[in-house]
Amino acid sequence: MLKKKSISAGKASLVLFLCQMISALDVPLDLSQPPTITQQSPKDYIVDPRENIVIQCEAKGKPPPSFSWTRNGTHFDIDKDAQVTMKPNSGTLVINIMNGGKAEAYEGVYQCTARNERGAAISNNIVIRPSRSPLWTKEKLEPNQVREGDSLVLHCRPPVGLPPPIIFWMDNAFQRLPQSERVSQGLNGDLYFSNVQPEDTREDYICYARFNHTQTIQQKQPISVKVFSVDSLNDTIAANLSDTDIYGAKPVTERQPVLLTPTGSTSTKVELRGNVLLLECIAAGLPTPVIRWIKEGGELPANRTFFENFKKTLKIIDVSEADSGNYKCIARNILGSAHHVISVTVKAAPYWITAPRNLVLSPGEDGTLICRANGNPKPNISWLANGVPIAIAPEDPSRKVDGDTIIFSHVQERSSAVYQCNASNEYGYLLANAFVNVLAEPPRILTPANKLYQVIADSPALLDCAYFGSPKPEIEWFKGVKGSILRGNEYVFHDNGTLEIPVAQKDSTGTYTCVARNELGKIQNEVQLEVKDPTMIIKQPEYKVIQRYGQVSFECIIKHDSTLLPTVIWLKDNNELPDDERFLVGKDNLTIMNVTDKDDGTYTCIVNTTLDSVSASAVLTVVARPNPPFDLELTGQLERSVELSWIPGDENNSPITNFVIEYEDGLHEPGVWHYQTEVPGTQTTVQLKLSPYVNYSFRVIAVNEIGRSQPSESSEQYLTKSANPDENPSNVQGIGSEPDNLVITWESLKGFQSNGPGLQYKVSWRQKDVDDEWTSVIVANVSKYIVSGTPTFVPYEIKVQALNDLGYAPEPSEVIGHSGEDLPMVAPGNVQVHVINSTLAKVHWDPVPLKSVRGHLQGYKVYYWKVQSLSRRSRRHVEKKILTFRGNKTFGMLPGLEPYSSYKLNVRVVNGKGEGPASPDKVFKTPEGVPSSPSFLKITNPTLDSLTLEWGSPTHPNGVLTSYILKFQPINNTHELGPLVEIRIPANESSLILKNLNYSTRYKFYFNAQTSVGSGSQITEEAVTIMDEAMASRQVDIATQGWFIGLMCAVALLILILLIVCFIRRNKGGKYPVKEKEDAHADPEIQPMKEDDGTFGEYSDAEDHKPLKKGSRTPSDRTVKKEDSDDSLVDYGEGVNGQFNEDGSFIGQYSGKKEKEPAEGNESSEAPSPVNAMNSFV
């Protein structure tokens, strides 16, 4: 059975190619088939009332279908309407509006039916509606007078059009009115002002409605807005009141947000699955509020969420049921916030899960049509047959309706029909046609013969085999005209007949034959595949850094298939090269002479062939290291800081990324520059922290991507004043080097850290947990001090403080150290050994008291050694092994022991000084294990029917040997194995003569030793019994020679004469001497074979003539692969008996007397012929 896979979604080109071939599975148009709708107008069809109405309905079928229409559910007789015509060979209606017809007269629901003798297909219900672009109703618009800072809404209220118009606001000059967070247009077309400003005053706010279908624009009357500022309002009041009146308008006050739309605190919104969800919140307030959106209890969907109209509109595309929920908009300014919650429910018009697909069946076949759709609410599924509800359609005994499935059984030609599935709910419907076409057609291949496919090596190859037949043909692919069928994981066989070679190689080139067969016939087609070497850029252009006015060259050396013609194109920054004679394009390089700054960029070499394209890019940077900074200046000198400034040098077309500031201490390390700090390349001043008692000089280095500049000239010197040390030595430690001392060490301060002259250290110590005073000494500028006469391994508190001529550093922190260690005093006790198996033991011991360790406990060491092997009493050199167990462990595992041996061990505690005394030696023994393989196996003294085996005992018996196991079996000249024979041999034997073997036969032997635990690993050998020289001399195949036949006839005649003479002499009482010799010396050629009595060989001792069980036979067609080893036991496996245990021995025992059976396959109960015997030596 051919392997079939689905098309990989990750290969776009493969998907496209296979999708283009899907039509190959359609019924060819020269065969009878029911109608199929191929083109129809949209369900909701809005037409331009000024143009002819064209309602499309195209279908294919054989015979060609005839067309009819219904309008509003009743038959539409187009012959009775002079304005309506149907296109020839088509179902498309043309309604002539331009010659006096009115589009409104043809509004309605239309449906097309395409019918032939095999069925009827129907179109969707096509709703025809002419577009409408009505005028604005006349209305009297009062001027809008608004106080500055108040909110305002200018209503558009466009006329209801079909489809709805696009709304926008402009002025008298047809310029769009500017919109912002403060002023914006809502989804309903109204213009919203969060707060009005004096500049909003104008008289030409005009709302326009554009009707795209009729390409008309309708205009609303201009709206006037006048904004009164507080100052102008006060002036108006003052002009109308006396001086004694109290007057004055309130100043513009800030207000917290209030939502203009939507109103209230909550609202609802229903949207359909797959549509765009638009939610809007526009707020009034001063300052202008900012809108923010959240989804309660969830996140806004990533990658599908967009904000429009200055975040006042939330837009979610391709909504699904998961987008249902509560969406909250929050309007906020400095005075507060307002919010509104919109509850969104996503419903769904029906959508396909499984749309019904055309069925092509042969008479007597079974099939199903499946129609599965989903929606919210769940859609209702109904079936039609040839456009008629299936409940009232003519009965078909082969058809059974089961909900969303129609089951067909034993179809006949009359079962051909077109079925319609309708899935509908309150939000819409889906209608799908699917035909059942009952045909009996032999296979045909639609792909042109000898089509040539060319691909690049290591890329997929797709070989087309578009086919058709009924029953559906089986597709097989062959390589070559007489090649074997293609199978295996290196091929993918697609349902449409395409053969995919996922990774085509050069040896994939050749002729491929596609064979399509069904019960009515077979057909084949050949295509050609050529696999080309890939085009490669073997030397790619490399990144170049070049200084101005230099010369640079980019290489692009390619390797390509000799049958493909490559073209090489150079681009600069993905555009053509500049038209400049400085650019020289060679065969495999691009050279730029006299490089300038404008030549910066990315240069790409593109190599194209008809099958592939490769490219490589490199960047050219024309730069140089920056020039050194100059004019260094020190200002703001303080005891611990100074400000350094400088002027940068030339960047040389590469921006300076940072400046490095270095200093020299002329007092302590003259001539040595140290890193101080670095600052970004945009900074030219820095405040530097200083240390006391340092004679500073500074210099600055500029750095860009190319490198560092030369250092600047050094600044003037600045000597800071002396001070107490700021810090103490670091890394203070106390570790004894002897049992009676304590060595205190530290890292000394560097020169500038001393902060003044006369640097010294105060070293202090005291024993921890003892009521003792600190002992202190002051030492010179060193880094070690030794305290003598201490107890062994006791903790000490230690501190080291720096001081100079001006005083001490801050109080140092204390550290804990220990005086010197001594060797442990006590050995571990209660040592116990638990032998787990023949190679592993577990040792336990009691921990020693910590006081007796006299140092840091590092762990325990286990010394163990083999005393002697229990199977060999001879002693050998003792090699002690050591295992260390870190920490305070009280047990450990001893791996790698030898079985059946006597061991000793002891345990010692270890500290930093060394090992303590050993525990008393503990003796333990390991049990027996399986032996190693025999040391050798030799096969000598081959005769016609016997072999002598000699062997050596195992190097490692690992116990007391109980016996040896010998297994052997014959091998014929085709490497097939005969029955396996097993013999058990006493352990004290070292040789064996195998008798009753077949002459001139190769045998394979498997030999291993056993202890009471089990069998050890085996060794194998092969040997051949010899053949009689007289037989060898008669091996030559001369039986067909004429002279040989004549000679045999003469010999036969001579023997006949001799027999007659002998008979006469017997009758006379004489004795024929030759007979006596034959009796005394039997010729092995004419003796009956031992195999006849079922005996293969015998053990020469007490087990002579032990019966053996017959082995399983090898199938006659069994072969051995060339690449497999001739010695492989797997190759010689005999059915289920050819299995092995983990130790390599065959599963099962062979015993019992062998019975005669007739010859089967390559085996024979007879002795091998001399020719075969000779071949066994070759």
pLDDT one-digit tens code per residue, 644-661? 999 999 888 789 999 999
> Tens of pLDDT along 661-694?
999 998 888 999 999 999 999 999 999 999 898 9
Q: Residue 958 region, left (φ>0) first, then alpha (ψ -120 to 50), else beta?
A: left
Q: Which of 118-122, 378-382, 766-770, 828-832 is least confident?
A: 766-770
Phi, psi of 280 (to 5 degrees): -130, 140
Residues paired with residue 69 on neighbouring β-strands, in sequence order: 112
Q: Which of 68-77, 138-147, 228-237 is least confident?
A: 228-237
Centre a 10 Å sphere on the Cβ of residue 1081 and count the other Cβ atoms it contains.
8
Which residues does 988 contact at the CB level (< 8 Å), separation at least 6? none
Taking residues 721-743, report their average pLDDT. Answer: 91
Helices H / strands E in the chain, number of each: 7, 85
Which residues does 1112 contact at the CB level (< 8 Å), separation at least 6? 979, 1134, 1135, 1136, 1137
Going 1136 to 1141 to 1146 to 1147, the CA torsion angle's sign is: negative
Q: Which residue has the higher pLDDT, 234 or 826?
A: 826
Q: Which of 855-864, 869-878, 1124-1133 is least confident?
A: 1124-1133
> Tens of pLDDT along 462-514?
999 999 999 999 999 999 867 788 887 889 999 999 999 999 999 999 999 99
Taking residues 1147-1162, report their average pLDDT. Answer: 35
CB-count burial class (<10 Å; 0-12, 13-18, 19+) for 29: exposed
How confident is the model at residue 772, as a pLDDT? 85
Whether residue 534 is predicted with pLDDT greater than 60 in this model: the reply is: yes
> Tens of pLDDT along 324-357?
999 999 999 999 999 999 999 999 999 999 999 9
Q: Which of 152-166, 239-253, 771-785 is least confident?
A: 239-253
Q: What is the mean pLDDT of the chain?
A: 84
Whether residue 1125 is predicted with pLDDT greater than 70 in this model: the reply is: no
How confident is the model at residue 861, as a pLDDT? 95
> Tens of pLDDT along 187-239?
999 999 999 999 999 999 999 999 988 888 888 999 999 999 866 655 555 55
Tell me the two tokens of residue 16: 């496209």
Q: Is 222 helix (H, G, I), strand (E, B) or coil?
A: coil
CB-count burial class (<10 Å; 0-12, 13-18, 19+) for 495: middle
Which of 665, 627, 619 is CA-nearest to residue 646? 627
Q: Is 155 helix (H, G, I), strand (E, B) or coil?
A: coil
> Tens of pLDDT along 390-446?
999 999 999 999 999 999 999 998 899 999 999 999 999 999 999 999 999 999 999
Place of tokens 């509560």: 326
1048: confidence class by pLDDT, cuts 50, 70, 90: confident
By residue count, the chain amounts to 1178
Q: 1085-1088, long-range: CB within 8 Å, 24+ apart, which pairs?
A: 1085/1028, 1085/1030, 1085/1031
Pairing between β-strand 144-147 and β-strand 223-228 as defined by DSSP bridges: parallel
Do 722 and 640 form a contact (C-beta atoms < 8 A)?
no
Do 788 and 743 form a contact (C-beta atoms < 8 A)?
no
Q: Which residue has the higher pLDDT, 806 or 25?
A: 806
How confident is the model at residue 669, as a pLDDT? 86
Q: Which of 13-17, 514-518, 521-525, 644-648 is least confident?
A: 13-17
Do 634 and 718 form a contact (C-beta atoms < 8 A)?
yes
Residues paired with residue 218 on neighbouring β-strands, in sequence order: 209
Taking residues 519-536, report their average pLDDT. Answer: 93
Whether residue 1166 is predicted with pLDDT greater than 80 in this model: the reply is: no
1175: confidence class by pLDDT, cuts 50, 70, 90: very low
C-alpha to C-alpha distance for 377 and 926, rounded to whole angstroms: 78
Centre a 10 Å sphere on the Cβ of residue 920 and count the other Cβ atoms it contains.
10
241: confidence class by pLDDT, cuts 50, 70, 90: very low
C-alpha to C-alpha distance for 1136 and 431, rounded to whole angstroms: 60
**What's the angle, vertex CA 146, arms to CA 145 and CA 151, rounded to 5?**
140
| DSSP structure class, residue 63 | S
Q: Is 416 helix (H, G, I), strand (E, B) or coil?
A: coil
Whether residue 305 is predicted with pLDDT greater than 80 in this model: the reply is: yes
Which amino acid is present at 838? S
Exposure of 836 in the CB half-sphere (CA atoms within 13 A): 12
Whether residue 24 is predicted with pLDDT greater than 60 in this model: the reply is: no
How confident is the model at residue 705, as a pLDDT? 81
How confident is the model at residue 1102, as a pLDDT? 37
Exposure of 557 in the CB half-sphere (CA atoms within 13 A): 5
What dihedral do alpha carbons 714, 720, 726, 729 form, nearest 10°?
60
C-alpha to C-alpha distance for 281 and 259, rounded to whole angstroms: 7
696: confidence class by pLDDT, cuts 50, 70, 90: very high
Taking residues 313-324, report their average pLDDT. Answer: 95
1151: confidence class by pLDDT, cuts 50, 70, 90: very low
Which residues does 996 contact at the CB level (< 8 Å), separation at least 6? 945, 946, 1090, 1095, 1096, 1097, 1098
How confident is the model at residue 134, as a pLDDT? 87
How confident is the model at residue 874, as a pLDDT? 58
Whether residue 20 is predicted with pLDDT greater than 80 in this model: the reply is: no
How confident is the model at residue 554, as a pLDDT? 96
Pairing between β-strand 359-361 and β-strand 428-438 as defined by DSSP bridges: parallel
How confident is the model at residue 1047, as a pLDDT? 86
Do 738 and 688 form a contact (C-beta atoms < 8 A)?
no
Taking residues 817-825, report their average pLDDT. Answer: 92
How confident is the model at residue 1030, as a pLDDT? 54
Do 281 and 266 form a contact (C-beta atoms < 8 A)?
no
Do 818 and 793 form a contact (C-beta atoms < 8 A)?
yes
Give the whole-number percent of the chain exceeding pLDDT 70: 85
Buried b (16+ CB within 10 A) or exposed e, 535-553: bebeebbeebbbeeeeebe
How confident is the model at residue 236, as a pLDDT? 54
How confident is the model at residue 233, as a pLDDT? 55
Which of 217, 130, 125, 121 is CA-nearest to residue 165? 217
Give the whole-number percent of the chain exceeding pLDDT 90: 66
C-alpha to C-alpha distance for 897 and 927, rounded to whole angstroms: 10
Do 662 and 675 form a contact (C-beta atoms < 8 A)?
yes
